[in-house]
Amino acid sequence: MSSSTAAVDFEKEYSPSLNIKRFQNYEKPYEKVVQHFISQGKAATTLAFRNHKVRENVRYGGLNDNQLVDIIYNDSEFGSPIFAYIHGGYWTSLDKSSSGTFVGPLLEQGYRVLLVDYNLCPTVTLEELCEQIRNFFKWLQHYAKETQPNSISICGHSAGAHLLCQIFNEDFLGQQQPELYAINHLFLISGVYDLRELWELTCCNENNKLGLDAVRAEHLSPLCWSYNKKLLLLHNKQDLQVHVMVAENDSSTFIKQSHSYAEKLKSIALKKILLNINKMSKTLQEEDTNSTLFYARNEYYIGNFLGSVNFVLPEQGTASTELLSYMYLSYLAIDSGRLVASYVKEDNETPLLAFRYMHEAFEQPEKIEDILSKLMDKVAIDEDETNIWHIATAIIYCYNNQFENALKILHGSNNLESMALSVQCLLRMNRIDLAKQLMGKMQEISDDHTLTQLAQAWVALSTGTEQMQDAFHIFQEFCEKYKPTPLLLNGQAVVHIGLERYEEADAVLREALTKKHNDYDTLINLMVLAHLTGKSSETITRYWDQLQQFFPKSEFVLDMENKSAEFDKLCSQYSVEETLTQA
């Protein structure tokens, strides 16, 4: 391999925005990635500042520079655990204003969050920047002694992870007190631990903004350091846990560096080193070990209902209530509620009884009020960690067009399923403004969650043509990442119809029919498309007949039949013959 080829490969390897799977349908996906990252971070930070107490621009070192930290907290800074975050940006870009994506969830768990800023290269050298971060660690020790946190966690992302490694630099020992104060966890996310390859690359050191040469790059590489045994002893005494983390879609170079650095830390006798690939929190780690639940849930979200059922069936005998819930919801979605009734008996004492009630409500609409009364009693008295009673009750309210009552049931929940259902209710009520606000809160909790992405697409569709293409990309991404389903394909079709791309809409809807020949949304969209493209009345009537045959009790069919009857009545009332008779 020639040196020029290697350089080209490394340019991509060290460009995270070129390795991400999202936004690949955009003309310049790497620019969209960066734009999305910054805009979402700024929005989440602004929201956190609005909803919580803040001490902004607290100085941890220097004079008239960016050695500043924002402290965001609930009621008091005293006593609560600290989570400090050091942003990335290859030491030359970004700042704390776009660092708050995770702040909301941490504050809800009782943390106070510190967003750390620093001067960027080339206004300072990289050595001086590292010195600033050591100033932050020194300040943090004093701040902790004043405010008595019960734990301290520090997180660094990308270049921020490199800077966080200064806590292992023997230069730090000279600044330190005899003991480190309660630093319990370090989170090194997609870090850069070896600068010997990247210092010559344009993607991260254009015009040598970092002021490096081969010797200085090695000196600043955590993988190349000698580690002071006295400092390591202090860390081990505090039972420090180091989490070296990297995303599965990071480049092979980033993954290799994380592996190498984790092994380096283990080799120097740090006791607790955890290497995680694509596991960014304890919650996600636990979910991964129970992958059946993750996949069953995700298949249900994207409309692959049989796929969801097939994940659950092999474990049905030992499955948790939460796992079974997605099988029953999927059965209801494919109009197989009788299976729910056969599995869930009337004397069932778990929240799964809610799905039997849902089946009864769908089959006997005249009994909905009685069923809702039973469900409301359960919502009021039953401690439901799975959220099943609330979701089932809200779904039945929506089925009965009682969207305000559904919102009351779901109000105040930080459960993403409840929030996504609330977004749908608000859109049905034409409250796009409130739906956007709620979608923003979902993004603050988990921007990449399937439901958050779908909610973003729903809002974009409702907003109009300017935002529709964003919705298309979300549906397209899910089709490529998982598999096309009628739900995802109909989402794409609605975008095509809204943008008057009728041929593309027809092709997508034909594909949806191959997935399910009598899909409700597909038939409706085909009928609408036939009207818009001037198809024959026979074609339109064929779709209408199928809707009446397969979905005689559906809202769309009943509404159309009522409108048709009203139209016939008006025609009869105002016909020429009727008018002459009256005369």
CATH of span 473-575 = 1.25.40.10
Q: Residues 44, 100: contact at Cβ < 8 Å?
A: yes
| Domain spans of the chain, in order of start | 10-268, 412-463, 473-575
pTM over the 0.85 mark: no
pLDDT band at 1 (very low <50, low <70, confident <90, very high): very low
Give the C-alpha separation, 260 to 232, whole Å.
Answer: 18
> Residues 372-385: pLDDT tens digits?
999 998 888 766 66
Q: Give the integer Cα–Cα distance in Å for 14 and 193.
A: 12
Backbone angles phi, psi at 272, to 5 degrees: -120, 95
How would residue 575 be classed by pLDDT, with cut points 50, 70 and 90?
low
- Residue 421 pLDDT: 96
Q: What is the pLDDT of residues 184-221, one digit of tens each?
A: 889 999 999 999 989 999 888 999 999 999 999 999 99
**CATH class in words for 10-268:** alpha beta
Q: Which helix (H) or strand (E) holds 58?
A: strand 53-59
Q: How far is CA 189 from CA 226, 238, 267, 579, in A?
A: 22, 22, 20, 79
Average pLDDT over residues 176-187: 69
Q: Which residue has 């990335």 as its token pair? A: 88
Tokens of 326: 């997605």
What are the helix (H) ranges across 97-208? 103-108, 126-147, 159-164, 170-173, 202-205
Q: Do domains 10-268 and 473-575 have the same CATH topology?
A: no
List CB contacts of 380: < 8 A, sequence separation 6 or more: none
